[in-house]
Amino acid sequence: MSEVQRRGFLARLTAYEPLTLITLACVAGGLFVLQRLTSEVLEGETFGFDKAILLALRHQGELGVPIGPAWLTHAVSDITSLGGVTVLTLMTVLVTVYLLLDRRWPIAIFVFSSVLTGWLASTLLKILIARPRPDIVPHLVEVSDLSFPSGHAMVSAVTYLTLGALLARTQRYRSTRIFVIGAGVFLAVIIGLSRIYLGVHYPTDVLAGWCAGALWALGCWLISKRFVPSRAPDAAAEAENDDGR
C-alpha cells in the first residue's frame, strides 16, 4: 500500500469512527434494555404496570368497551392492520421490485433479506419467551399466537425502519431522507400503540418489540452503510467519471 493510499484509508476510517462508535453504543444500550425487560417479564415484575395501563384504556364498569369515541376503535383497527403480515409483505415486495427496476440490485436484495430475517427473529423470540396473551381485558381483534415481544410492534419496526433507513440512502436531499425515516418511526409507533389499545398485548410486549425492531433496523443500516452501495452501477460509474474530470 502506497503512502497516498494509506493516508486515504486512515482518513476514511477516521470519518467513520464517530458514527461507528455512536451506533455501537446504541446497539449495546438497546441490547441491555431488551435483556433487562425480558428478565423482568419472565419474573412477573412488570405485571402490575401492564395491568394498570390496560385497565386505564377501558371503561371501569364495562371492560369490553375502550375509552374514547366509537370511531377511534375503528381507526385503531385500521391502523393495526398496517402491521399485519399481508400489508408488510406487499410493502416489502413492492419496494424491492422498485429498487430492482431502478437497477439498485445490491440494496434491493439487502432490503428483502433484512426484513425477512427480522421476521424470523421475531418468531424465534416469541417461541423462546412463550408468554401467553393478556386476559385482563377482552380482545377487540382476534389473535392466536404468543405475546412477547409484540409481533406487530417488532415486525413493523423491522420493516418500516429498515425500509426507511435503507431507502433514505437512495435519496438526494436531506429533507427527503429525514421524512422517509420519520415516516417509518411514526408508523412503527402508532402500530405498537394500537395493539395496547385493542387489548391484545401487554405494554411491555410492545416496548420489547420496538426495542428489538429498532436494534435490527439499526444493525441493517450500519451493515448497508459500510458494505452495500446505494446507487445503481451506471450512476456510480458516472459519479466516478465526474470526480475524475
Catalytic residue numbers read 152, 201
Report how far residue 204's alpha carbon sits from residue 210's, in angstroms, rounded to the nearest whole number.
10
Q: Using alpha carbons only, give the angle 125, 131, 134 rounded to the nearest 5 degrees.
A: 130
User: What 3-state class would DSSP assign to 197?
Assistant: helix
Contact 152, 191 (CB under 8 A): yes
How does DSSP classify residue 48? H
Q: Compute the distance between CA of residue 150 and CA of residue 5 in angstroms, rounded to an integer.
A: 48
The C-alpha cell at 148 is 412477547
59 sits in which H/E element? strand 58-59
